[in-house]
């Protein structure tokens, strides 16, 4: 799973539901053998200091293997000129930048600066593409009108803000001649920006997630604050957008299927329902659980319905992520010399998805009650069985940190 968030600070006294032990436990229960969490650089912090803190959290805690991406929130001269080039050499070969969120959003010049370093060092840039100023404008208009319930989260982040930022990210990457991965794409219009770039010959990659295949903005409209369980960004859209995302997975516009697992407890003043979160969608933490449900949802809704075949399932969830992020052939294939990371599936097993099956650190799953066909009955990491028949049999600490080679999509260092 090439896109997960564990133990990441969120400000405002909010605490993510998962540390590295519970997050990787859920991954293993869902058939995932390697996760790629994010190391968040906070303002004023060196990247080395951030990495030290995240390694301290992860070391000895993980049930599956891990490899970090870097979130660049403060691209100082020191970060750009010294730290990033050195860290790429050390095997941290992907950077993520945000175009939205207070304290994380970079302006276009800062994005270009980070992309230029990626071009020089042979790194891959991941982009969260939403227009920050447009979202702030929409949010303020909604709050003035008294529209503060969780369902208005989707209204505040319409497709246009994602489409525009996707196009802008692609254009900036084109200027610098650097490969870019647009993460968690939710709709056809944004997908078509990526398809257009690919047809033009640009190295633009795309990712989508389970929430954009099976949830809709109607899920945000639950009784009381129930809709807060589904607040993530970009928000789930509509049935037409779901079909577009399936098309993207099938046709190769998206080459990776990730969870964007970012879990907060629901009934918790340090989770979804903070005192401020109860007053407006603006303050509800963004993110939903998914690392344990990702593979079963794609298998059940994709392979078992004929939307994709089993080969495409393996490519989207194992081979392509490993290749894209420089872990292949150690990961992503069953071959002599590769890690013996194996998930064995019972394709006929029918069950109802509940939080008890995925056992992350949250107190709910957004996919509760969904009927699933096909489930992993054994998960093996580097030759050791870590899950058998829904029971954790491995020990925490078996999971290792992996340094990575450069992405084959990246330009050779200048």
Q: What is the mean pLDDT of residues 378-402?
A: 98
Q: Reduced to 3 states, what is the DSSP secondary structure of residue 45?
A: coil
Local confidence band at 10 (pLDDT 50, 70, 90 cut-offs): confident
Q: pLDDT for 206-242, tens place per residue?
A: 999 999 999 999 999 988 999 999 999 999 999 999 9
Instruction: Judge whether 192 and 248 are in contact, CB under 8 Å.
Output: no
Which phi and psi angles does 139 have, rounded to 5°?
-65, -45
Q: What is the mean pLDDT of residues 393-401?
A: 97
Give the global pTM.
Answer: 0.98
Q: Quick one: pLDDT at residue 21?
A: 99
Q: What is the mean pLDDT of residues 6-16?
A: 85
Residue whose tokens read 């610098």: 176
Which phi and psi angles does 97 have, rounded to 5°?
-125, 150
Q: What is the mean pLDDT of residues 296-301?
A: 99
Burial classification of residue 389, based on how many CB atoms lie within 10 Å of its CB (0-12 exposed, 13-18 middle, 19 or more buried) = exposed
Residue 12 pLDDT exceeds 80: no
Q: What is the mean pLDDT of residues 131-150?
A: 98
**CA gap 302, 305 in Å, rounded:** 6
Instruction: Judge whether 133 and 215 are in contact, CB under 8 Å.
Output: no
CA distances for 234 relative to 41, 103, 154, 244, angstroms: 22, 18, 8, 15
Q: What is the dihedral of CA 332, 344, 311, 255, to 10 degrees?
A: -50
Instruction: Judge whether 171 and 192 are in contact, CB under 8 Å.
Output: no
Tokens for 193, please give them. Answer: 């920006």
Query: Containing H/E element for 352?
Result: strand 342-352
Instruction: Judge whether 247 and 303 are in contact, CB under 8 Å.
Output: no
Q: Give the mean pLDDT of the chain.
A: 98
Local confidence band at 8 (pLDDT 50, 70, 90 cut-offs): very high
Residue 194 pLDDT exceeds 80: yes
Tokens for 318, please give them. Answer: 């194992």
CA distances for 372 relative to 154, 304, 375, angstroms: 27, 10, 8
**CA gap 216, 195 in Å, rounded:** 23
**CA gap 122, 178 in Å, rounded:** 9
Q: Quick one: pLDDT at residue 223?
A: 86
**CA gap 98, 100 in Å, rounded:** 5
Q: Quick one: pLDDT at residue 349?
A: 98
Local confidence band at 413 (pLDDT 50, 70, 90 cut-offs): confident
Sheet holding 256-257, edge to edge: 38-40, 69-71, 94-98, 124-128, 180-182, 204-208, 256-257
The closest alpha carbon to 21, from 70, 69, 71, 64, belongs to: 64
What percentage of residues in the chain have a pLDDT greater than 70? 100
What structural domains and CATH numbers belong to the chain?
20-392 (3.20.20.140)
Q: Quick one: pLDDT at residue 412?
A: 85
Look at strands 384-388 and 371-381 and give their pairing.
antiparallel
Q: What is the mean pLDDT of residues 138-150?
A: 98
**CA gap 25, 118 in Å, rounded:** 33
Instruction: Judge whether 115 and 179 are in contact, CB under 8 Å.
Output: no
Sign of CA dihedral 365, 370, 375, 377: positive
Residues 6+ apart with CB under 8 A from 102: none
**CA gap 375, 346 in Å, rounded:** 6
Residue 74 pLDDT exceeds 90: yes
């Amino acid at each position: 799973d090439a896109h997960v968030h564990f133990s990441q600070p969120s400000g405002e006294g909010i605490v993510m539901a998962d540390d590295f032990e519970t997050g990787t436990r859920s991954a293993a229960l869902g058939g995932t053998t390697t996760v790629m969490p994010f190391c968040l650089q906070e303002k004023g912090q060196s990247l080395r200091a951030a990495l030290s803190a995240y390694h301290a959290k992860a070391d000895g805690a993980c049930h599956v293997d891990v490899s970090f991406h870097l979130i660049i929130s403060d691209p100082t001269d020191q970060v750009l000129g010294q730290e990033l080039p050195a860290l790429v050499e050390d095997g941290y070969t992907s950077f993520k930048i945000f175009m939205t969120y207070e304290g994380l959003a970079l302006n276009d010049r800062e994005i270009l600066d980070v992309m230029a370093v990626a071009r020089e060092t042979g790194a891959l840039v991941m982009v969260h593409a939403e227009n920050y100023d447009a979202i702030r404008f929409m949010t303020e208009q909604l709050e003035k009108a008294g529209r503060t319930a969780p369902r208005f989260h989707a209204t505040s982040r319409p497709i246009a803000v994602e489409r525009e930022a996707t196009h802008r990210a692609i254009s900036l990457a084109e200027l610098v001649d650097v490969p870019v991965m647009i993460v968690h794409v939710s709709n056809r219009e944004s997908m078509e920006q990526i398809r257009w770039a690919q047809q033009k010959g640009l190295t633009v990659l795309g990712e989508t997630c389970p929430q954009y295949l099976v949830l809709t903005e109607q899920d945000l409209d639950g009784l009381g604050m129930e809709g807060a369980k589904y607040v993530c960004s970009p928000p789930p859209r509509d049935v037409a957008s779901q079909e577009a995302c399936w098309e993207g997975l099938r046709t190769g516009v998206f080459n990776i299927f990730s969870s964007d697992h970012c879990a907060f407890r629901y009934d918790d003043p340090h989770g979804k329902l903070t005192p401020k979160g109860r007053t407006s969608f603006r303050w509800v933490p963004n993110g939903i659980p998914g690392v344990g449900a990702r593979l079963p949802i794609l298998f059940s809704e994709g392979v078992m319905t004929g939307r994709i075949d089993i080969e495409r399932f393996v490519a989207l969830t194992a081979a392509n992520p490993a290749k894209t992020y420089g872990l292949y052939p150690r990961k992503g294939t069953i071959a002599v010399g590769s890690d013996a990371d194996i998930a064995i599936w019972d394709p006929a097993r029918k069950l109802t998805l509940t939080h008890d099956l995925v056992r992350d650190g949250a107190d709910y799953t957004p996919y509760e009650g969904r009927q699933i066909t096909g489930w992993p009955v054994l998960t093996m990491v580097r030759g050791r069985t870590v899950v058998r028949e829904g029971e954790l049999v491995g020990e925490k600490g078996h999971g290792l940190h992996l340094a990575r080679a450069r992405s084959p999509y990246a330009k050779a260092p200048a």
